[in-house]
Amino acid sequence: MTTPVSLRPSKILCVGRNYRAHAAELGNDVPAAPLLFFKPPSALLGHGEAIVLPPESHRVEFEGEIAVTLGARLRHASEDEARAALSHVLPLNDVTARDLQRTDGQWTRAKGFDTFCPVGTPVPVDDVDLESLEIVTTVDGVERQRGRASDMVFSIAAVLAYASRVMTLEPGDLITTGTPEGVGPLEPGAVVRVEIPGVGAVENPVRRAATP
């Protein structure tokens, strides 16, 4: 897979249900604390490469998200320390096999297929206003999602501080921060674009897996 050369995460840490409207559209409550899960680094995908729909799933959906990378190690960090450790910002598509997410009860398989983590080019965090960032997802040019960092239940710094009390976050780790409402299915032949205005975008065609 072609991914930005600067991305060598030891882990991809994700947050579920971090926008109230998205939690509601899937029939879920907003969690009392950040709901953490992982995507494997093997899921990373570059701009222009194809998202592959696996035969195991009949409902694969897009989830446009604001993601960040770390420039310093975090362990038992405060929110101020977490904010200071941020290195880059980038758009990310947390592609999800929704049917498998529901049947499995935990999310590893649903989130972990190869090609299920398209990412854009990282932009230094010092070049952006983190609190005013916006995320926009389009499918075949039609807007499907729009949300702001200010809409998050738990801020980026709060998520990082919370996670650092569970695990050591390493330089280069990729953290994605939840998706706004409007998620929907991906079909073969579609083109999905996730953009952070003023930062960049990642755009990918969609195809079915080749028959073995």
Whether residue 50 contacts residue 205, with contact meaning beta carbons closer than 8 Å, is answered with: yes
Question: pLDDT below 50 — which residues of the chain?
Answer: 1-2, 5
CATH fold group of domain 12-208: Fumarylacetoacetate hydrolase; domain 2 (3.90.850)
At residue 189, φ and ψ (nearest 5 deg) are: 95, -15
Whole-angstrom distance, CA of residue 42 vs CA of residue 177? 19
How many Å apart are CA 208 and CA 146, to the nearest integer? 27
For residues 209 and 81, what is the distance between their CA atoms, to the nearest angstrom?
43
CB 96 within 8 A of CB 61: yes
- Rounded to whole angstroms, the Cα distance separating 143 from 134 reads 13
CA distance 11 to 5: 16
Give me the half-sphere count of Cα atoms (radius 13 Å) on the Cβ side of residue 18. Answer: 26
pLDDT at residue 211 in the model: 74
d(CA 71, CA 117): 21
Cα–Cα distance measured from residue 205 to residue 186, given in angstroms and rounded to the nearest whole number: 10
For residue 172, give the H/E element and its range.
Answer: none
Nearest to 19 by CA among 110, 147, 136: 147
- The residue ranges of every structural domain in the chain are 12-208
- Of 50, 88, 68, 71, nearest to 205 by C-alpha is 50
